[in-house]
Structure 1
């Protein structure tokens, strides 16, 4: 999809191509699954949390690692916390240096 196009419902943004769409940039979309890297700005699908960050991902736009929520995962800043879970212990070095919290049952 060309830059500026909406994300297809039920999909996430998985890659960015700067030269796509005649030079204005394009975004590749894919279906979410446990353990997928998505580009910064991609929606977080219900039931998923963000567990990793890669600054150089998505052709320099930045990328976030998504997992289905489960007890014991370390979640990144800004990650949604699904119903039935809560954040607990903090680690400054988690989420590739951004800081992270352990996911626990509510």
Structure 2
């Protein structure tokens, strides 16, 4: 359920930027989500349709771009992409890893008219 406050933040940011640009309508939002981010696209879309109603963002399309996870083993320093949520290093089978990418969540761009 943490998608609701996140979706509310997305709407606020979009409306604020649209207002500054004197936009009549928000058409698209481009959202970047890391593979390891705990947000669910469908939940964000569901909440968006409810909270954006009767705003200039009501008919905006949400576009989600997923960033694949990349980890670095803290034992052998091998960089790798985990498979099936398995975080074990494929080279040395170490279990300690640093996340290089994959936890991102950001509003990348907003399209307006």
TM > 0.5 fold call: no
* Structure number having the greater strand percentage: 1
- Higher helix content, 1 or 2: 2
Q: What is the TM-score with the length of structure 1 in the denominator?
A: 0.28
TM-score by length of 2: 0.27
Larger Cα-atom Rg: 2
